[in-house]
């Protein structure tokens, strides 16, 4: 079996060790000859890089491992780029969440004004690494799971339409895992139908390989408990904020009981509830910085200090195995069925062809082929059209440098109550992001 060369863009991410561990756990399915980390923050990446170098020498000494801030070194001789960048790091995520809350608006990483702010930062970083990839390894595929995925995917469609970029999100993977726990199955035994945008969609079918439909059984559970399962609480050490998110799915289900909702819809359909239950001084960003951030970097420093990765504290990010499934689909033409973010082109029959939608696809060596989901109901279609227009306006504002267009994007967002509030939030976000956004006029 061919051995592959991988670069992880965003090598200083707290997710990097778990993903590296996951790839080591899947070497029998996806052999690796070379693994590189790339980040523009050399100091941050260096801590994880040094620790992972020790780990790889012990667990997979045949893999040629390196970490660098030099784009040519990182992207030369690479088959796959796995991208999980966070422009502005957690310090800017904190601003994305707290600035809107100051104005009485939902403060969330990927939704509403926070997601728009993050998107405006991410476009620059994404286009940069796409250009590096195409310059130094033109046959390379990018597996992109950087947030906010919807805005990033639209930017790729508009600005790099011919790039070999695959946009995917881990949220449906996690929700399918919880669904499988509800019905005592394994995720790989289930096949779903789904339509929507990223972080903005609905499951219409959950079947096993024999064709048995579990939608009503899962729906009955979600109507009482949301997607929260005791297995996840006990084994995944789930943060309280995520437990609340999964429980809130029961209220989302009540709005349209025909379909199983994506949990992120709570920010759009219950924004007043979210604001009331938010703490302006302590948001999810603080939770992550005091939790996963400290845990991962403390573990890395201990590995460096001890000179060994035995009992390291790094854990396998097993649900991220979807990244290996996607890479294998491209490399070995496996025709894997996966939820992907793709240009609609008729996959949802009564929706805009140029919208970046999230639907099941069959993935082979030429990329994803969307499966048609038919026509969707008026309620979901109306919500999706409003949201996809916001995403298109954000990318248009980035390209043209238009303050007016970005103000319109925030005004149109279902999360923001008025044009006046949108303008006030926007002005504060511009000030906070002056080192990251293009100049708006």
Known binding-site residues for substrate equal 93, 147, 284
Is 220 an active-site residue?
Answer: no
How far apart (Å, rounded) are the C-alpha atoms in residues 121 and 227?
Answer: 32
Is 170 an active-site residue?
Answer: yes
Question: Could you identify the residue written with the tokens 């600035």?
Answer: 99
**Residue 150 near residue 200, CB atoms below 8 Å:** yes
How far apart (Å, rounded) are the C-alpha atoms in residues 181 and 168?
Answer: 23
**Residue 242 near residue 266, CB atoms below 8 Å:** no
Residue 367: strand pairing partners: 364
Residue 144: strand pairing partners: 83, 167
Binding residues: 93, 147, 169, 199, 284
Among residues 115, 380, 177, 382, which one has the least CA distance to residue 261?
A: 380
The DSSP secondary-structure symbol of 374 reads B
End-to-end, the C-alpha distance of the chain in Å comes to 54
Residues in the chain: 441
**SS3 for 193?**
strand
Q: CA dihedral in degrees (120, 10, 83, 124; nearest 10)? A: 30
Give percent helix, percent strand, percent coil of the chain, each to the nearest 5.
50, 15, 30
Both tokens assigned to 5: 């060369």
Residue 200: strand pairing partners: 197
Please tell me which residue in 25, 131, 170, 208 is annotated as part of the active site: 170
Please tell me which residue in 132, 145, 221, 264 is annotated as part of the active site: 264
Among residues 4, 237, 276, which one has the least CA distance to residue 141?
A: 4
How far apart (Å, rounded) are the C-alpha atoms in residues 327 and 151?
Answer: 23
Helix extents (H) in 148-248: 149-159, 171-182, 215-225, 230-235, 240-247
The alpha-carbon radius of gyration of the chain (Å, integer) is 21
**SS3 for 226?**
coil
Catalytic (active-site) positions: 170, 264
């Amino acid at each position: 079996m061919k051995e592959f060369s991988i670069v992880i863009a965003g090598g200083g991410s707290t997710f990097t060790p778990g993903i590296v561990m996951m790839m080591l756990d899947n070497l029998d399915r996806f052999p690796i000859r070379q693994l590189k980390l790339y980040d523009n923050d050399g100091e941050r990446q260096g801590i994880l890089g040094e620790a992972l170098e020790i780990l790889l020498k012990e667990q997979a000494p045949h893999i040629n491992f390196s970490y660098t801030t030099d784009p040519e070194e990182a992207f030369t001789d690479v088959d796959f780029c796995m991208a999980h960048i966070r422009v502005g790091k957690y310090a800017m995520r904190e601003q994305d969440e707290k600035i809107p809350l100051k104005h009485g608006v939902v403060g969330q990483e990927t939704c509403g004004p926070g997601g728009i702010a993050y998107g405006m930062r991410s476009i620059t970083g994404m286009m940069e690494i796409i250009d590096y990839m195409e310059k130094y390894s033109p046959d390379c595929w990018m597996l992109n799971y950087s947030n906010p995925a919807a805005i990033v995917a639209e930017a790729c469609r508009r600005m790099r339409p011919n790039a070999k970029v695959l946009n995917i999100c881990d949220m449906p993977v996690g929700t399918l895992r919880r669904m499988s726990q509800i019905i005592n199955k394994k995720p790989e035994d289930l096949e779903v139908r789904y339509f929507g945008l990223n972080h903005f969609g609905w499951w219409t079918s959950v079947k096993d390989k024999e064709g048995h439909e579990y939608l009503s059984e899962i729906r009955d559970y979600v109507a009482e408990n949301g997607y929260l399962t005791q297995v996840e609480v006990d084994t995944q050490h789930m943060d309280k904020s995520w437990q609340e998110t999964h429980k809130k799915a029961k209220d989302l289900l009540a709005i349209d009981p025909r379909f199983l909702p994506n949990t992120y819809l709570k920010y759009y359909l219950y924004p007043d509830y979210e604001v009331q239950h938010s703490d302006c001084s302590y948001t999810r960003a603080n939770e992550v910085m005091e939790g996963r951030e400290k845990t991962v970097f403390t573990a890395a420093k201990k590995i460096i200090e001890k000179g060994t990765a035995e009992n390291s504290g790094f854990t396998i990010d097993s649900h991220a195995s979807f990244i290996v499934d996607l890479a294998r689909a491209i490399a070995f033409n496996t025709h894997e069925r996966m939820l992907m973010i793709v240009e609609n082109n008729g996959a949802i029959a009564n929706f805009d062809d140029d919208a970046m939608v999230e639907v099941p696809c069959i993935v082979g060596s030429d990329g994803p082929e969307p499966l048609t989901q038919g026509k969707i109901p008026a309620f979901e279609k109306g919500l999706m059209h409003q949201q996809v227009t916001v995403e298109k306006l954000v990318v248009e504002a980035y390209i043209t440098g238009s303050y007016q267009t970005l103000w319109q994007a925030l005004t149109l967002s279902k999360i923001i109550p008025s044009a006046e509030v949108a303008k006030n939030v926007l002005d504060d976000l511009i000030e906070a992001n002056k080192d990251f956004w293009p100049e708006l006029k």
